[in-house]
Structure 1
Amino acid sequence: MLDEEYEDITYFKENGFYEKECSKCGKTYWTRDSERETCGDPPCDHYTFIGKPIFTKPMDLAEMREYFLNFFEQRGHTRIDRYPVVARWRDDIYLTIASIADFQPNVTSGLVPPPANPLTISQPCIRLNDLDSVGRTGRHLTTFEMMAHHVFNSKGKEIYWKDKTIELCDELLTELGADAAEVTYIKSPWAGGGNAGASVEVMVGGLELATLVFMNLKESKNGTIDVKGKMYEKMDNYIVDTGYGLERFVWASQGTPTIYDAVFPTIVQQLTNLAGIDHELNDPKYAQIFANNAQFAGIMDVSGSANLAELRKQVADSIGMDVDELSRIMDPMEKIFAIADHTRCLTFMLGDGIIPSNVKSGYLARLVIRRTIRMLTDLGVDVPLSEIVALHIDNMPEYPEFEDNFKVTEEILALEEEKYRQTIERGRKIIQKEAVRYQEKGEKLPLEKLMEIYDSHGIPPEISKEAAKEVGVDVEFPDNFYSLVADMHSESGDKDEAASGFKYTEKLERLPLTKRFYYDEPERMEFEAVVLDAFDDYVVLDNTYFYPEGGGQEADRGMLMAGTFVYDVIDVQMYNGIVVHKLNMVDKELLINRGDMVIGQVDKKRRMAHSRHHTATHIINDAARKVLGNHIWQAGAQKTESRARLDISHYKHITQEELNEIEMIANKTVMENKKVQFENMDRTEAEQKYGFGLYQGGIPPGKVLRIVKVGSDIEACGGTHCLSTGVVGPIKILKTERIQDGVERLEYAAGEAAVAAMQETESLLRDSSEILSIQPEILPVTVERFFEEWKELQKENEKLKEELAGARTIKMMQDAEKIDDFSIVVSVTKGDGIDSLRMAAVEILKNENAVAILLSESDGVKAVAAAGKNAIAKGIKAGDLVKIMSQAVGGGGGGKPDLAMGGGPDASGIEKAKTEALSKIKETLSS
Structure 2
Amino acid sequence: NAGPSVEVLIGGLEGATLVFMSLGKQRTNEPPVELEGQTFWPMPNRIVDTGYGLERLTWASSGSPTIYDAVFPDLVSSLFSEAGLDHHLKDKNYTKILSLNAKFAGLMDITGANLFALRKKVAAAIDVPIDRLIKMITPIEQVYTIADHTRCLAYMLGDCIVPSNVREGYLARLVLRRTLRVMNDLNLDLSLADLVARQVEEIGEEQFEQSPEVIREILERETEKYGATIERGTRIIQKVASSYKKKSQKVPLVEVITLYDSHGLPAELIKEVAAAEGAVVEIPDNFYSLVANMHSESQREGGDDPLAAYEERFTALPPTRPLYYEQPCEVEFEAMVIDCFDGLVVLDQTLFYPEGGGQPADTGTLLSAESMVRVEDVTKRGNVILHRAVGGSLKRGERVKGMVDEERRWSLMRHHTATHVLLHAAKEILGAHIHQAGAQKGSDSARLDIRHFKHITEDELRRIELRANQIVQSNKPVFIKLEERQRAEQKYGFTLYQGGVPPGNAIRVVQVGGEIQACAGTHVRTTGEIGAIKVLRVEHIQDGIERIEFAAGKAAIMAMQETERVLADAAAELRIQPENLPSTVQRFFGEWKERGKEIERLRKKLIDLELAQIEYEPIASAKVVIRELDVDPSQLAALARKLAKTNGVALLVSASDRLHMVLASGSPRVNAGDILGEISESLDGKGGGNPTMAHAIAPDGSKGDVALKAGRRLITLALNG
Counterpart of 1:275 in structure 2 is 83
In structure 2, do the counterparts of structure 1 residues 217 and 465 end up closer, same or farther at CA, with 3 Å as the change threshold?
A: closer
Q: 1:446 is matched with which residue?
A: 252
**Per the alignment, do residues 788 and 453 of structure 1 end up closer, same or farther by CA in structure 2, a change over 3 Å counting?**
same
Q: Secondary structure at the match of 1:696?
A: coil
- Partner Cα separation in structure 1 for residue 486 and residue 672 of structure 2: 78
Is residue 463 from structure 1 mapped to residue 269 from structure 2 by the alignment? yes
- Structure 2 gap ranges (5+): none
Q: 1:869: which partner in 2?
A: 666
Matches within 5 A, 1:472-871: 472-491=278-297, 493-494=299-300, 499-501=305-307, 504-563=310-369, 565-585=371-391, 590-811=392-613, 813-814=614-615, 819-822=619-622, 825-828=625-628, 832-857=631-656, 860-870=657-667
SS at match of 2:465: helix
- Does structure 2 retain, via aligned residues, the 8 Å contact 1:469–1:475? yes
Relative contact order, CA 8 A, sep 6+: which one is greater?
A: 1
Instruction: Give the equivalent residue in structure 2 for 1:894.
Output: 688
Answer yes or no: is the 8 Å Cα contact 1:296–1:318 preserved in 2: no
Q: Which amino acid aligns with 1:624?
A: A
Q: In 1, Cα distance between the equivalents of 2:501 and 2:21? A: 25
Distance 1:913 1:301, change over 3 A: same
* Cα deviation, residue 454, structure 1: 1.1
Cross-structure match for 2:178: 371
- CA distance in 1 between partners of 2:128 and 2:38 (Å): 45
Q: Within 5 A, what are the aligned runs for 1:13-162?
A: none
Tell me how far apart the structure 2 counterparts of residues 777 and 302 of structure 1 sit (CA, whole Å).
67
Match of 2:54 in 1: 246
Q: For residue 900 of structure 1, what is the amino acid of its counterpart?
A: A
**Taking structure 1 as reference, are residues 729 and 240 closer, same or farther at Cα in structure 2, changes over 3 Å only?**
closer
Distance 2:113 2:60 in 1: 29
| Greater helix fraction, Structure 1 or Structure 2 | 2
Higher mean Cα deviation, 326-335 or 454-463? 326-335
1:295-322: per-residue Cα shift (whole Å, max 9, x none)? 55546666525242x5324312212334
Instruction: Tell me the TM-score normalised to structure 1 length.
Output: 0.73
Number of positions where the alignment pairs a residue of Structure 1 with one of Structure 2: 719
Question: Alpha carbons of 1:834 and 1:820: their partners in 2 closer, same or farther (altered >3 Å)?
Answer: same
Matches within 5 A, 1:172-187: none
Per-residue CA deviation, residues 755-813 of structure 1 (Å, 9 max, x unaligned), is 111111112222222222222222212211211221121111112112212222333x3
In structure 2, the CA distance between the partners of 1:241 and 1:360, relative to structure 1 (3 Å rule), is: closer
Distance (whole Å) between structure 2 residues aligned to residue 245 and residue 394 of structure 1: 22
Aligned partner (choices 159, 163, 173) of residue 352 of structure 1? 159
CA positional deviation for 1:415: 0.9
- Residue 908 of structure 1: how far off its partner (Å): 5.1
Residue 385 (structure 1) aligned with residue 192 (structure 2): yes
Displacement after TM superposition at 1:865 (Å): 2.5
Give me the whole-angstrom Cα distance separating, in 1, the residues matched to 2:128 and 2:406: 82
Aligned mate of 2:203, from 364, 372, 396: 396
Letter in 2 for 1:619: V
Distance 1:499 1:457, change over 3 A: closer
Deviation of the 1:548 alpha carbon: 1.3
**How far did residue 710 of structure 1 move?**
0.5
Structure 1 alignment gaps of length 5 or more:
1-192
- What is the CA-CA distance between 1:695 and the residue it aligns to? 0.7
Residue 294 of structure 1 and its aligned partner are, at CA, apart by 4.2
Amino acid at match of 1:791: K
Secondary structure at the residue paired with 2:498?
Answer: helix
SS, match of residue 651 in structure 2: strand
Q: Give CA-to-partner distance per residue, 1:569-598, whole Å, 9 cap, x none.
A: 22222222222222344xxxx332222222
Q: Distance in 2 between matches of 1:702 and 1:224?
A: 22
> Partners in 1 of 2:371 and 2:44 — Cα distance?
51
**Which of the numbers 422, 435, 452 marks the counterpart of 2:228?**
422
**Following the alignment from structure 1 to structure 2, what is the Cα–Cα distance between the partners of residues 230 and 297?**
25
| SS at structure 2 position matched to 1:465 | helix
Per-residue deviation, 1:708 = 0.9
Q: Shift of residue 517 of structure 1? A: 0.6
Q: 1:597 to 1:225 in 2, by over 3 A?
A: closer
State the alpha-carbon separation in 1 of the partners of residues 689 and 624 from structure 2. 19
**d(CA) in 1 for partners of 2:17 and 2:168?**
27
2:374 aligned counterpart, secondary structure: strand
SS of 2:190's equivalent in the other structure is: coil
8 A Cα contact 2:675 2:715, kept in partner: no
Shift of the 494–752 alpha-carbon distance from structure 1 to 2, 3 Å rule, reads: farther
Secondary structure class of the residue paired with 1:442:
coil
Q: Distance in 2 between matches of 1:363 and 1:232?
A: 26
- Kept in 2, the 8 Å contact 1:300–1:312? The answer is no
Q: Is the 2:320–2:347 contact (alpha carbons within 8 Å) kept by the matching residues of 1?
A: yes
Please say if 1:881 is aligned against 2:658.
Answer: no
Q: Shift in Å at residue 529 of structure 1?
A: 2.0
Classify the secondary structure of the residue corresponding to 1:493: helix
Q: Is the 8 A contact 1:886 1:913 kept in 2?
A: no
Cα separation, 2, equivalents of 1:768 and 1:610: 33
SS in 1 for 2:164: coil
The answer as to whether partners of 2:436 and 2:498 remain within 8 angstroms in 1 is: yes
Identity of aligned residues (%): 46
Alpha-carbon offset, residue 391 of structure 1: 2.6
- Deviation string 1:117-170 (CA, Å, 9 cap, x unpaired) is xxxxxxxxxxxxxxxxxxxxxxxxxxxxxxxxxxxxxxxxxxxxxxxxxxxxxx
Q: Distance in 1 between matches of 2:46 and 2:719?
A: 94
Equivalent AA in structure 1 for residue 338 of structure 2 = L
Residue aligned with 1:527, SS:
strand
Q: CA deviation at 1:223?
A: 4.4
Counterpart Cα distance in 1 of 2:279 and 2:376: 61
Between the aligned partners of 2:719 and 2:708, the Cα distance in structure 1 is 17
Q: How far apart, in 2, do the equivalents of 1:785 and 1:470 lie?
A: 55
**Structure 1 residues 474 and 494: alpha-carbon distance in aligned structure 2, compared to 1, 3 A threshold:** closer
Distance 1:735 1:213, change over 3 A: closer
Measure how far apart 1:214 and its partner are.
4.6
Equivalent-residue separation in structure 2 for 1:775 and 1:441 (angstroms): 69
Judged with a 3 Å threshold, the aligned counterparts in structure 2 of structure 1 residues 289 and 572 are, in CA distance, closer, same or farther, namely: closer
- Give the alignment of 1:171-320 within 5 angstroms: 193=1, 195-197=2-4, 199-214=5-20, 223=31, 240-298=48-106, 304-308=112-116, 310-320=117-127
CA distance in 2, matches of 1:479, 1:640: 48
Q: Check whether the contact 2:676–2:696 (CA below 8 A) recurs between aligned residues.
A: no
Letter in 2 for 1:356: P
Inter-partner Cα distance in structure 2 for 1:454 and 1:230 = 26
- One-letter code of the match for 2:74? T
Distance 1:384 1:334 in 2: 19
SS in 2 for 1:746: strand
Going from structure 1 to structure 2, the CA distance change for 1:789 and 1:673 (only over 3 Å counts) comes to: same
1:332 partnered with 2:139: yes
Structure 2: distance between partners of 1:738 and 1:319: 56
Change (3 A) 1:502 1:887: farther
CA RMSD after TM alignment: 2.9
